[in-house]
Structure 1
Amino acid sequence: MDYRKQKLPAVLLVVIFLGLCLQLPFQVVQNLPPQQRVAVGEKIDFQLNLPKIFTDQFEFKIDGVPAFYLGQAAPVAAKPGELKVQVKLFGFIPVREMMVSVVPEIKVIPGGQAIGVMMNSEGVMVVGRSSIIDGQGKRHNPAAEAGVKLGDILIKINGVKVETEGQVRDQINNLGKTGKPLVLILKSKNTQKPYNATITPIFCNETKRYRVGLFVRDSTAGVGTMTFYHPETRSYGALGHIITDVDTCQPINLNGGKVVGATIEGIRMGKKGQPGEKLGVFSAEEGISGNIIKNTNCGIFGILDQEPKNNYSKRAIPVAMTAEIQEGPAEIYTVLNNNRIEKFSIEVQQVIPNGKAEGKGMIIKITDPRLLAKTGGIIQGMSGSPIVQDNKLIGAVTHVFVNDPARGYGVLAEWMLYNSGAISKHVSIRKNEKNDERSIIAC
């Protein structure tokens, strides 16, 4: 019998066995994010959390120089810059290419303060439509017939820029008396591209004025939590998620706004299917005052007039890059009563490095018995509460799982820092907080 024929099945079995053994680590390596950041002085460690026997055949080259095999000690980032990383199986089979940005260590003062958020939108947002009953008792909706949709932004009427609900109401009524059509310039909620709508107002017998069949709103307000303060730039980050209109769920196009201090006067406990909330009031005496410059998927950002009061922590701590975050115990800072920041234990259950588009970078679970007894878990107004692990800011609380209030999402602090502008970019940033009951003006 030919010896080579006997050997062939054995070789195939070995190849199949090795293929099965390497399938999982191969997929895990391929799913590594194409870009990530590490701070100067930190290890360039990809933390695949796989047994060494499955991963020590993958070689990492940094800028073409063999750096380490998985399972070995990772090199330390020495200075800011960009590094090209190549991963090869057995040292010669290409598997993955990535870029690692090494950034200076950034330190911030963790927040936890309750804040009042007041935002003005660009123009006014269409939040509803209603029929108009004319003198003959017939129903009309000129705006709907002209193609105006919920969430669209009204920018100008007959060439005049509009900024407030009252201004829109009065302009439509006064121009409607002329009997001539109006030309409205709006931005589509879907494309953000301007478009024109020509509409003839109708006199409404119910309101005794001319209308076009729209409900509009010019601003929003609510209570949230500050995440961090960066002393060198006086910049702050808060909420951890984008602010949307409560009626349309569309992101608000920012046209100015401010943050002020707030005090928490009560807690409505959350339960399955019904998120709870902090009951707060704005308070100028809390020493927090600043503007809002950005409204992004990773939070709101701006500049404070002065360093905010912090009864819990006045010392700046490093911001952790994504690769440094570990599954396991962590803490959040938040206010449950008056203006006193308290610390509570949580667990980081999963890190999601590819979730930046939605601002969902980790899954967290409240484990502190005191917090669970007081709130039932994550509640509205807690968004922005800083998450600290190993004395580093790793993120902020953002969303609650409606059917499991003890669990929810957090945004990564690294993403917030880039959105805020606190970290220079020289090497390369849903559900609302409780809104106030503003009147909605019919137009």
Structure 2
Amino acid sequence: MPPQPRILQKVLLLIIIFSTSFTTAFYSYFLLPSEQKLSVGDALNLPQLLTPGIDHHLSVYVESNKNNVLKINGYPVTQKIYKYNGEQAVVTEPGQLNLSLKLFGVIPIKNMMVDVLPEIEVIPGGHSVGVMLQTEGIMAVGHAPVYRNDGTYAYPAKEAGIELGDNILAINDSKIKNEKNAAELIHQFGAKGTLKLLVRRDGKEKIISVEPEFCQDTKTYRIGLYIRDNAAGVGTITFYEPKGKKYGALGHMIADLDTVDQAEKGRIVKADIQGIKPGKKGDPGEKIGLFDGKELEGNIEINSNFGIFGKLEEPLVNPFFKNGISIALSNQISEGPAEIITVIAGDKLEKFDIEIERVLPQHQPTGKGLIIQITDPKLLKATGGIIQGMSGSPIIQGGKLVGAVTHVFVNDPTKGYGCLAEWMILEAGIVHKEAASFPEIMTKSPVFMFNL
């Protein structure tokens, strides 16, 4: 082969090798999450460039809201330029970092915000609790048609001005005890004419007159309301933070609490599990609990997509983790074996094996961060999988709290979703939501830079 083609081949080969390495390195940067959370002491891992000679073309600019958030080889990053060759970069204090990767110091390649959280230790839960709404009487949670004899229908309560979230305290001066009692009073007084309902709305009470209708289907007088008394069901505590006496539970919202316009939306009390209705395909099971206001009691201050949160009156004790465990962030969770803690009889906490099948990308806060499957033979035999009342059961992996059981797959009760623990502790206020104000803080922060 003539010399010239050989030289061209070598040049072409070098270009291919250079381009492949260059592209691979940059592709790895594009795959980095735009936002992530790290705990104090975690390494800040950045991909290594594969081709020697191009590292001086890349710079990483680091903005921080304070000094000492990041250290390289044990030295705090200060206002200097670093030539970074794979040294150990560790986050060492709570705060925020904003990383900006630039080519030739000008062309932006990747921006990444890192929220550094303090190490948090909590007591895992698993305890069954009854959720009590902070209401008197009954709560209006929906409107329903009342069908007349002639086939037409009406909405008496809605037409009279009853709104969702109203607390109905009494009917014709008779106090309402529960749902059943309310239905009895409506039928009893409805047969005689107009009903006078004592209603509390936005902290104020007033009388609303309602004309009841005789329902063809039930053969009773009705006013066309879906109602709930103050018992919202059984759930499970996920964690307890001893310093602030704060707890998190359920891992999902309680819809009825959305209509309660009070600082304290309700209470949780201890629940003893008296029975189990196993779940099966298309028919989710449930825990049957007896509420007990002793030993475990707390308020409900927050109701969100990540669960309910408040304070316990007495410390929570877990026989498996007496001294507490750390919270695992999403980047510390892996697919594979894990376990949950829950109650299936009485008040006995038990551990059961599960499998974390997927860790879902968390580009923004969401109550569904994990896909899990129950694998423990004992739990499968007792419950068929995930059932109502199990929501909030803590998920433990590698000795850390990674999340809480939330929703079941209706077509496969052995599988379901989990809510990440990191979102729950932020929602509980255990760690300040610093990321929300991060861009504003950055405008006045020192700017650091090191070269890649």
TM-score (norm 2): 0.70
Pick from 242, 245, 253 the counterpart of residue 231 of structure 1.
242
For the residue of structure 2 that corresponds to 1:85, the secondary structure is: strand
1:260 paired to 2:269? yes
Change in 2 beyond 3 A, CA 1:309/1:78? closer
Pick from 359, 362, 373 the counterpart of residue 370 of structure 2.
362
Per the alignment, residue 346 of structure 2 pairs with 338
Measured after TM superposition, the shift of residue 222 of structure 1 is 1.0
Alignment of 1:344-423 (within 5 A): 344-354=352-362, 357-423=365-431
Per the alignment, residue 98 of structure 2 pairs with 84
- Check whether the contact 2:167–2:201 (CA below 8 A) recurs between aligned residues: yes
Measured after TM superposition, the shift of residue 293 of structure 1 is 0.7
Per the alignment, residue 31 of structure 2 pairs with 28
- Check whether the contact 1:311–1:340 (CA below 8 A) recurs between aligned residues: no
Alignment of 1:32-111 (within 5 A): 32-34=33-35, 36-45=36-45, 61-63=61-63, 75-88=89-102, 93-111=107-125
Per the alignment, residue 322 of structure 1 pairs with 330
- Inter-partner Cα distance in structure 1 for 2:302 and 2:248: 10
- Inter-partner Cα distance in structure 1 for 2:251 and 2:407: 9
- Inter-partner Cα distance in structure 2 for 1:276 and 1:68: 56
Measured after TM superposition, the shift of residue 356 of structure 1 is 5.2
- Inter-partner Cα distance in structure 2 for 1:354 and 1:202: 51
Pick from 261, 274, 278 the counterpart of residue 283 of structure 2.
274
For the residue of structure 2 that corresponds to 1:265, the secondary structure is: strand
Bigger radius of gyration: 2
Measured after TM superposition, the shift of residue 319 of structure 1 is 1.3
Per the alignment, residue 437 of structure 1 pairs with none
AA aligned opposite 2:114: V
Measured after TM superposition, the shift of residue 68 of structure 1 is 6.1
Measured after TM superposition, the shift of residue 165 of structure 1 is 8.2
- Inter-partner Cα distance in structure 2 for 1:137 and 1:360: 44
AA aligned opposite 2:273: I
Gapped runs of 5+ residues in structure 1? Answer: 158-162, 188-198, 429-443
- Check whether the contact 1:276–1:379 (CA below 8 A) recurs between aligned residues: yes
Change in 2 beyond 3 A, CA 1:350/1:185? same
Change in 2 beyond 3 A, CA 1:305/1:89? same
Change in 2 beyond 3 A, CA 1:102/1:93? same
For the residue of structure 2 that corresponds to 1:315, the secondary structure is: coil
- Check whether the contact 2:327–2:400 (CA below 8 A) recurs between aligned residues: yes
Measured against aligned partners, the alpha-carbon deviations of 1:208-251 in whole angstroms (never above 9, x if no partner) come to 99976434435442111111111111111111111124xxxx95
Pick from 308, 328, 333 the counterpart of residue 300 of structure 1.
308
- Inter-partner Cα distance in structure 1 for 2:427 and 2:421: 10
Per the alignment, residue 190 of structure 1 pairs with none
Measured after TM superposition, the shift of residue 75 of structure 1 is 1.9
- Check whether the contact 1:37–1:103 (CA below 8 A) recurs between aligned residues: yes
- Inter-partner Cα distance in structure 1 for 2:177 and 2:272: 28
Measured after TM superposition, the shift of residue 288 of structure 1 is 0.5
Measured against aligned partners, the alpha-carbon deviations of 1:348-407 in whole angstroms (never above 9, x if no partner) come to 222224265441111122222332233222221111111112221111111111222222
Measured after TM superposition, the shift of residue 98 of structure 1 is 2.1
- What is the root-mean-square deviation of aligned Cα atoms in Å? 4.7
Change in 2 beyond 3 A, CA 1:153/1:62? same
- Check whether the contact 2:30–2:110 (CA below 8 A) recurs between aligned residues: no
- Inter-partner Cα distance in structure 2 for 1:266 and 1:373: 14
Aligned-pair identity in percent equals: 41
Measured against aligned partners, the alpha-carbon deviations of 1:129-154 in whole angstroms (never above 9, x if no partner) come to 223759x99753356669989xx434
- Check whether the contact 1:116–1:222 (CA below 8 A) recurs between aligned residues: yes
Per the alignment, residue 232 of structure 2 pairs with 221
Per the alignment, residue 191 of structure 1 pairs with none
Q: Which has the higher contact order (CA 8 A, sep 6+)?
A: 2
Measured after TM superposition, the shift of residue 281 of structure 1 is 1.4
1:240 paired to 2:251? yes
- Check whether the contact 1:398–1:411 (CA below 8 A) recurs between aligned residues: yes
Measured after TM superposition, the shift of residue 118 of structure 1 is 1.0
Pick from 195, 200, 204 the counterpart of residue 213 of structure 2.
204
For the residue of structure 1 that corresponds to 2:353, the secondary structure is: strand
1:130 paired to 2:148? no
For the residue of structure 2 that corresponds to 1:337, the secondary structure is: coil
- Inter-partner Cα distance in structure 1 for 2:267 and 2:91: 39
- Inter-partner Cα distance in structure 2 for 1:373 and 1:212: 44
- Check whether the contact 1:288–1:309 (CA below 8 A) recurs between aligned residues: no
Per the alignment, residue 440 of structure 2 pairs with none
